[in-house]
Amino acid sequence: MTLVFLEHHDGELQKGGLGVLAKAASLGGEVAAVVVGHGVRAAAAAAGNYGASTVYVVDDPALEAPLPQPRVDALEAVVRASGAENVLFAASVLSADVAAGLAARLDAGLNWDVTDLALDGGTLVAKRPALGDTVLVDVGWTSTPRIALVRSGAFEAVETGGTATVQEVAAELRDYSTAARMVEQAHEQSSGPSIEDADVIVAGGRGLGAPEGFRLAEELAEALGGAVAATRAVVDAGWYPYSTQVGQTGKSVSPRLYIALGISGAIQHKVGMQSSGTIVAINKDPNAPIFDFADFGIVGKVEDVAPRLAELVRRR
């Protein structure tokens, strides 16, 4: 049985986990989801529409704050109760912590940065980039449960129209009052999708010239219904928030379309976005490394090209 961990926010299941669930369901076999938190029963049921036949719920006030340690306890209880052989997570800061904690707790193997999943003779195998993202390798596990952290955006959340049985699991949560505690939680205000969830990302680099240059990226993203991302160079310069950084020390994303505005294409940026469906690069330097791996390239100044592109999109 395959178990997929679903994160939720404001009573809504997050798209990343639902994509992993839909992928797991498409492989066949028994697929269940697990939702952990406080007051999450109603949200959990929606997982049936993405391929789960059962949704395990651990509902406890101690799970209200999005902290990893009690979630490891909850997941351990669900894995033991369900006998899950595979446990899948969509990458996020929280899920990465929970997956690693669960692997340590169960003495299980964890494959991370997974970009594809398949069954080989009924056994789960994964694909992940290796050697600085220059090759894709098949990876497996030598024991169960097989735990995988899937790269954000790797799979689309496809609705199946199904329903799931919600099953509560009583988990014994340890006392973490002397460990980490949530002091404050701030939600970033954003009118569009997050870069983890977006089908389209418009990313800006130093070629945008100044923080104000990001208006070009925002306008194009708005026209396409996408999200804005950034390189580390501009994040370090304080032009755009860290939460939007894509790359080795930022987030890994795989949108359907990635438009790079004034980005050179350094390897540390490339590793975070090269599994995007279609990559379009706009750069004034015809020798910029990004043109080596972009599907479409436009040699020109972003301030000339981006507004025209946004205008064309708006007109369609």
Q: Which residues contact ligand FAD by CB under 6 A? A: 205-207, 231-234, 245-250, 262-264, 266, 268-269, 272, 282-285, 288, 301-303
User: Minimum distance between the CB of residue 284 and ligand FAD, rounded to whole angstroms?
Assistant: 4
User: Minimum distance between the CB of residue 179 and ligand FAD, rounded to whole angstroms?
Assistant: 29
80 is an annotated ligand-binding site residue: no
- Of the two residues 78 and 263, which places its CB atom closer to ligand FAD in the complex? 263
User: Minimum distance between the CB of residue 159 and ligand FAD, rounded to whole angstroms?
Assistant: 33
- Show Cβ contacts of residue 215 under 8 Å, excluding neighbours closer than 6 positions: none
Task: Measure Cα distances from 263 to 3, 22, 208, 298, 311 in Å.
Answer: 39, 33, 9, 12, 21
298 is an annotated ligand-binding site residue: no
Task: Measure Cα distances from 136 to 26, 131, 162 in Å.
Answer: 22, 9, 33
User: Minimum distance between the CB of residue 287 and ligand FAD, rounded to whole angstroms?
Assistant: 9
| Surface-to-core class of residue 183, CB atoms within 10 Å of its CB (0-12 exposed, 13-18 middle, 19+ buried) | exposed
- Of the two residues 249 and 278, which places its CB atom closer to ligand FAD in the complex? 249
265 is an annotated ligand-binding site residue: yes
Whether residue 302 contacts residue 261, with contact meaning beta carbons closer than 8 Å, is answered with yes
- Of the two residues 101 and 205, which places its CB atom closer to ligand FAD in the complex? 205
- Of the two residues 180 and 267, which places its CB atom closer to ligand FAD in the complex? 267
231 is an annotated ligand-binding site residue: yes
- Of the two residues 166 and 201, which places its CB atom closer to ligand FAD in the complex? 201
177: which 2 tokens? 């009052």
9 is an annotated ligand-binding site residue: no
User: Minimum distance between the CB of residue 91 and ligand FAD, rounded to whole angstroms?
Assistant: 14
280 is an annotated ligand-binding site residue: no
Task: Measure Cα distances from 37 to 13, 46, 66, 130, 313 in Å.
Answer: 12, 15, 8, 34, 41
Whether residue 10 contacts residue 66, with contact meaning beta carbons closer than 8 Å, is answered with no
Please report, in range form, the residues annotated as the binding site.
Answer: 206, 231-232, 245-249, 262-269, 283
